[in-house]
């Protein structure tokens, strides 16, 4: 994804994240602010982009937990190909070797404001976990996005979040049936990061619970039901906030 209306005064950014929602929300926010954005879903894909000369980033944002090439090894490969400042993004503690290898980190979930502060100041900005009484949507995040882009673009972001939640719920059902607690926790981690970034606080809170308690299978069925309800609530919010666009 390349920036639209990019400014030469703003750095080119490479976003590396295997979570589609997190990746697209960050790319959309930064693109609409004027940055030139490139994205990669895996570390290997990012290295291939640099090798091909497809992008010359000045800032690299990389998720700390991805399949394949990741962590400090990925940083080493990126450093060998780029002089960019590298920031890790993680919903949990950043491993010591990775913390030492990068120039800073962002704690997931973070909002548009924290992301922009990092880009403007080039230092890590942390954000807190969603609280237990989290509403369906963070109105401040919604307002910030609406201030940066047309309503149609904001609606597209949240429609993608809803679609992704449906897919995550299906994957969670399969993992639950298989008794795969590691996969359950991985799904929870992805939900927490992607939904937290989009300001979908209710779903992000449930993702955090799945990540923390997914190794206890007795907890998962109730959390799955709550997650499906959170998806329905988010869909209703979408139709309420964007009624014209919601009509077929």
Give bridge partners of residue 185 from the DSSP assignment: none
Distance, in Å, from the CA atom of 180 to the CA atom of 241, rounded to the nearest integer, reads: 37
User: Which range has the worst mean pLDDT, 16-30, 62-76, 231-245?
Assistant: 231-245
User: Which range has the worst mean pLDDT, 2-11, 12-21, 61-70?
Assistant: 2-11
Higher-confidence position of 114 and 186: 186
Q: pLDDT digit string (tens) for 149-182?
A: 888 888 888 999 999 999 999 999 999 999 999 9
What count of other Cβ atoms lies within 10 Å of the Cβ of residue 122?
Answer: 14
Distance, in Å, from the CA atom of 154 to the CA atom of 150, rounded to the nearest integer, reads: 7
Higher-confidence position of 112 and 36: 36
Across the beta sheet with 85-90, what order do the strands follow?
36-40, 12-16, 59-63, 85-90, 104-107
Burial 36-71 (b: 16+ CB within 10 A, else e): bbbbbbbbbebbebbeeeebebbbbbbbbbbeebbb
Closest CA to 19 of 181, 151, 211, 150: 211
Instruction: Give every CB contact of residue 9 below 8 A, 6+ residues apart in sequence.
Output: none
Q: Domain 12-121: give its CATH code.
A: 3.40.50.2300
Q: How much of the chain exceeds pLDDT 90, in percent? A: 35
Q: Across the chain, what does the average pLDDT equal?
A: 83
Give me the residue spans of the domains in the chain: 12-121, 139-242
Fold of 139-242: 1.20.120
Q: Is the pTM of this model over 0.85?
A: no
Over its C-alpha atoms, the chain yields an Rg (Å, rounded) of 18
Question: Are 109 and 23 within 8 A, CB to CB?
Answer: no
- The DSSP element (H or E) to which 39 belongs, if any, is strand 36-40
């Amino acid at each position: 994804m390349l920036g639209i209306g990019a400014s030469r005064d703003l750095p080119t950014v490479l976003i590396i994240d295997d979570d589609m929602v997190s990746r697209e929300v960050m790319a959309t926010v930064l693109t609409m602010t004027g940055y030139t954005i490139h994205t990669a879903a895996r570390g290997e894909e990012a290295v291939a982009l640099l090798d091909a000369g497809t992008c010359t980033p000045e800032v690299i944002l990389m998720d700390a937990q991805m399949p394949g090439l990741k962590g400090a090894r990925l940083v080493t490969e990126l450093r060998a190909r780029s002089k960019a400042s590298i920031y890790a993004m993680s919903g949990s503690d950043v491993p010591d070797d990775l913390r030492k290898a990068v120039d800073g980190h962002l704690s997931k979930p973070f909002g548009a404001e924290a992301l922009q502060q990092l880009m403007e100041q080039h230092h890590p900005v942390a954000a807190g976990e969603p609280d237990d009484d989290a509403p369906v949507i963070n109105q401040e995040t919604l307002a910030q996005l609406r201030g940066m882009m047309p309503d149609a673009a904001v609606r597209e972001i949240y429609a993608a979040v809803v679609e992704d939640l449906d897919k995550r719920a299906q994957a969670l059902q399969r993992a639950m049936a298989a008794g795969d607690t590691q996969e359950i926790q991985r799904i929870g981690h992805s939900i927490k990061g992607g939904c937290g970034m989009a300001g979908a606080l209710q779903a992000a809170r449930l993702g955090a619970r799945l990540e923390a308690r997914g190794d206890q299978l007795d907890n998962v069925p109730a959390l799955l039901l709550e997650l499906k309800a959170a998806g329905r609530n988010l869909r209703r919010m979408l139709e309420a906030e964007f009624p014209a666009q919601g009509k077929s």
